[in-house]
Amino acid sequence: MRRVMGLLSVVFVLGMAVMVAGAGRKRTVVAVFDIQTKFLKLSSAKRNMLTELLGQELGVDGIYQVMPPGDVKRSLLEQSAESHKKCYDEKCQVELGRQLPANKLVTTTIMKTAGKCRVMASLYDLRRQTTDIVAKAKCACTEEGLVPAIEKVAAKLRAFGTGGNSGFVEEIVSVDLKEKQGAVKVSAKDGKGNDIAAEVYVDGRKLGSAPGTFKVSVCAKELEVRHRKHGRAKKDLSIIERKLSSINVKLQGGGGGLQWIYSRPAGIDFTKSEVTVAQYRACVKAGRCTKPKTKSDSKYYNWGYGDRDKHPINGVDWNQAKSFCKWAGGRLPTEKEWEAEASNKGSREYPWGGAKSTCARVVMKEGGYGCGRDSTWPVCSKASGNSVSGLCDMGGNVWEWNSSWYDSTKKTRVVRGGSWDFDDTEFFRASNRDRLNPSYRYNSIGLRCGRSSQ
């Protein structure tokens, strides 16, 4: 209760500041109705808190003059106690909204499906009797998940209202990036196939204007393209009437779904798994990597199989490994960095601890090559063999190229971790090292990338 009352106080102070800042400028008045829930049990206090937060976020920057839920209820009660009935659907709330001194109405529903929640907020124009925009956000069904989701939908509603007479957002199109990174080419077209101006946002941060190519940071989740109508309503109808009919978003480069994990022992980020066939293929398609050895060279190479996208790439030399990591926004780890993570700075004999190497933890030669499969395994198949930071296959599956030279002759590079065709437990120790000519390509050699911590 104290938290709710504190939030109400903040909303009141913020509302007064917005009213002062907006003096002399006519703004759209938006009434915020109580958030409704479907298939989700939420206490009245939490629902009220989220509703107040929505009103607070809508009032940021003075784009809207917000009627908080408390003012909405008081206004309706002043007209008729009977009219302030509980509304459980949007139609009912819209009918009540017509009795308010507001231009627009926000109705919001939180729906739980398949263990996840979806927040949906509709901005309804009471004069035109049409819905301007529906803003959506997915999240976990917890307070920690719902709060940023409410902030996100409020930002989308505010974006619609920005620009005043000089233009406003016509449409927001969201694209799930699936935690990818790299160069993203974005274009927006009108009905005649002409490029039109649009704004590009990634995870709520503006990158620039489309058409254009933008660098997306690591693990980006959502890209938004916001088409903005430009010009004044009475002077530039040709531009005003151009509507977004298509949007093209193309990920040109970057990790193919690489997951980076911070290693406290090493002080850098590593890719969670060894680089997979699918991830390496994305680099080849981007023209930044050359093809590895293929199954036509030997059945033990993973490149060329239709069912091995999740297996580690093998048959790559040191320069190919280096090129991939550079394309993915990283580099090959040094030998010192690799061992720091694998040994937890010397406190572990093996990446997983002190137990001996067996197929319970390592893809190795036990009961036949690759634990009897006669091949590598999909990455992260042996969770009990993970390192202290949760990295997969630091022991087994494939050897991993490091950036370091093996010795002062500078003729061979370091490889670490052991592979699916070795049976001696010594090869899987965190301290074990081996050497190979940088041009060497074999079915037991792959890679893992590192990068400066982000």
Q: What is the CATH number of the domain that holds 108?
A: 3.40.50.10070
Highest mean pLDDT among 57-61, 64-68, 334-338: 334-338
pTM confidence score: 0.50
Query: Is the model's pLDDT at 148 over the cut of 80?
Result: yes
Q: What is the dihedral of CA 111, 67, 89, 113, to 10 degrees?
A: 0
- Structure tokens that stand for 275 in this block: 């680089």
Co-location of 10 and 117 in the same domain: yes
The CATH number covering residue 303 comes to 3.90.1580.10
Co-location of 229 and 123 in the same domain: no
Co-location of 154 and 192 in the same domain: no
pLDDT of residue 249: 53
Of the pLDDT bands very low, low, confident and very high (cuts 50, 70, 90), residue 210 is confident
In this predicted model, what pLDDT tens digit does every residue of 151-201 receive, in sequence order? 989 888 887 776 433 344 455 566 666 555 666 777 777 666 667 777 777
Number of independent structural domains in the chain: 3
Largest Cα–Cα distance in the chain?
90
Query: Could you please report the per-residue DSSP string of 114-158?
Result: TTEEEEEEEEEETTTTEEEEEEEEEE-SSHHHHHHHHHHHHHHHH
Q: Is 327 helix (H, G, I), strand (E, B) or coil?
A: helix
Query: In terms of DSSP bridges, do strands 104-113 and 36-38 run parallel, antiparallel, or are they unpaired?
Result: parallel
Q: Could you check whether the bond before residue 333 is cis, i.e. omega within 30 degrees of 0?
A: no
How far is it, in rounded angstroms, from Cα 35 to Cα 32? 9
How far is it, in rounded angstroms, from Cα 241 to Cα 307? 49
How far is it, in rounded angstroms, from Cα 98 to Cα 33? 13
Co-location of 337 and 368 in the same domain: yes
Domain ends where: 222, 249, 276? 249
Of the pLDDT bands very low, low, confident and very high (cuts 50, 70, 90), residue 28 is confident
pLDDT of residue 350: 97
Query: Is the model's pLDDT at 61 over the cut of 80?
Result: no
Of the pLDDT bands very low, low, confident and very high (cuts 50, 70, 90), residue 13 is very low
pLDDT of residue 203: 66
Mean residue pLDDT across the chain: 79
Residue 109 near residue 36, CB atoms below 8 Å: yes
Instruction: Provide the domain limits for residue 284.
Output: 253-454
Of the pLDDT bands very low, low, confident and very high (cuts 50, 70, 90), residue 270 is very high
Across 90-104, 348-362, 373-387, least confident range: 90-104
pLDDT of residue 7: 33
Co-location of 345 and 434 in the same domain: yes
Co-location of 242 and 300 in the same domain: no
pLDDT of residue 70: 74
pLDDT of residue 227: 67
Co-location of 266 and 299 in the same domain: yes
Residue 368 near residue 377, CB atoms below 8 Å: no
